[in-house]
Amino acid sequence: MLGYILLFFLVATLCSLLLTPWIIKLAYAFDVVRYPPSYYLKRLKAKGISIDPFKLEAAKRRLEKPPTPEWGGITYIVVFLLISAIGLLISKQINLGAEVLMDYIWWGFGILVLLINGILDDKFELPSFAQIFAYILASLLFVFSNFSVAQVNLPFLENIAIDQYILKLSLGSVVITLNIWSDLIIFAFLLYMIMALKVQAGTDAVMETNTFVALLLLLFISYKSGLYTTAFLASVLAGALLGFIFYNWYPARIWSGESGDAVIGYVIGTFAIIGRVNLSAVLILFAIPIVDFAYVLLKRLKRVLKTHKKVWLIFKMSDRNHLHHRLLAANIKESYIPIIEGIYTLALGVSLYFVPRYLRNEFLVVVYLITFFVIVLVDFWARRRGSFQDYMSTNKTR
């Protein structure tokens, strides 16, 4: 079985390597190119174009880099969908069964919603509410499936069952089963993962590399636990990312764009539920984007409360307080940042291997506290070196 999984990992890598150059040409042909903020803002002014103020803020916060095509997410998401479908259909050892086929169809629809929204956003700069609507719709499509969480395992406390309140809705021949508390948790979790991995993609290959490392670790953890479906899906997505990273590494020839940044978080979030893999394992492997996004939200909340704005705006705001921004401000070369974050994730995965399954929730708390401390330390380091304010004001990259 492991040979079959690794074979499709190589197939996905090769397909991604071959497809990416064509996506680069396609992006240039349709002018789906991210320009540096200085040029981009002048271009908008010259054309008299006004965009969503939150989109404008996000554009101003981008790094001053040469014009680079987007739509890169099309590569690894399309490869992932096609190769996964083929591999699952012809596999004799991974039998999804007719009873769960509709659930996977709901899941696939969610991925397509985010992919289409990302493609359109990369091209037309959709308003923020359109993005948020797509995130909510994709998460709801997954909630409509029968994938659920039976109980919540809280660190240092007893497990809490959350599958007692079930509501069934009939839409013609389609029956939608809602497990109220479970689905609420899944819905919130997916929205958070979408946004957390999206904002991690601020420098070349950082989100892609960190996710690739985490997926390899998830592959072997799932395989060891006999969760072959999750192991197979993780291997295909990891392979698709590896082929893309070849072109996305600094200096990037293409970026994921919204067509990849938002979709990848959704897919990762659903892996924990689809494959019945221990949720804490996924939360540990993706500690960097999860904790970093929480840290940034806290900083935004402090800023919003000072100006008496609506608290929910923290999810729409843009800034340069993310970990990769602070590493850049501390004069770390951009090409080193994916390696640094990848090594940190690898260390978490290796340590996870030696932690008994029944202690993973407690280990999760330790990991998050350490990660939070590391982020605060890097923030302090950047400010201590005196380069942070210059970096924030000049909008320069190294």
pTM of the model: 0.87
CB atoms within 10 A of CB 54: 17
CA distance 282 to 154: 15
What are the E-state strand segments in 166-219?
Answer: 166-171, 174-179
CA distance 151 to 163: 7
Alpha-carbon torsion, ordered 219, 222, 225, 228, to 10 deg: -90
Taking the CA of residue 265 as centre, how many other CA atoms within 13 Å lie in the half-sphere pointing to its CB? 32
| Predicted confidence pLDDT, tens digits, the chain (398 residues) | 788 899 999 999 999 999 999 999 999 999 999 887 777 677 766 766 666 666 666 666 667 788 899 999 999 999 999 999 898 888 776 766 656 777 888 899 999 999 999 999 999 888 888 889 999 999 998 888 777 654 445 444 455 555 565 656 565 655 566 667 677 888 999 999 999 999 898 889 999 999 999 999 999 988 888 888 888 999 999 999 999 999 999 999 999 999 999 899 999 988 878 766 667 888 999 999 999 999 999 888 887 877 767 777 777 777 778 898 889 888 889 999 999 999 999 999 999 888 887 788 889 999 999 999 999 999 888 887 655 455 455 444 43
Phi, psi at residue 65, to the nearest 5°?
Answer: -130, 160
CA distance 165 to 148: 12
Q: What is the CA radius of gyration of the chain?
A: 21
Closest CA to 125 of 248, 41, 38: 41
Q: What confidence score (pLDDT) does residue 164 get? A: 60
Contacts of 149 (CB under 8 A, 6+ apart): 162, 163, 182, 185, 186, 273, 279
Q: What confidence score (pLDDT) does residue 202 get? A: 83
CA distance 112 to 142: 12
Q: Measured in whole angstroms, how far is the alpha carbon of residue 153 from the centre of its chain?
A: 23
Instruction: Tell me the residue range of the domain where 350 lies.
Output: 2-394
Closest CA to 206 of 122, 288, 125, 285: 288
Q: What confidence score (pLDDT) does residue 19 get? A: 97
**Number of domains the chain contains:** 1
Closest CA to 239 of 4, 82, 18, 6: 6
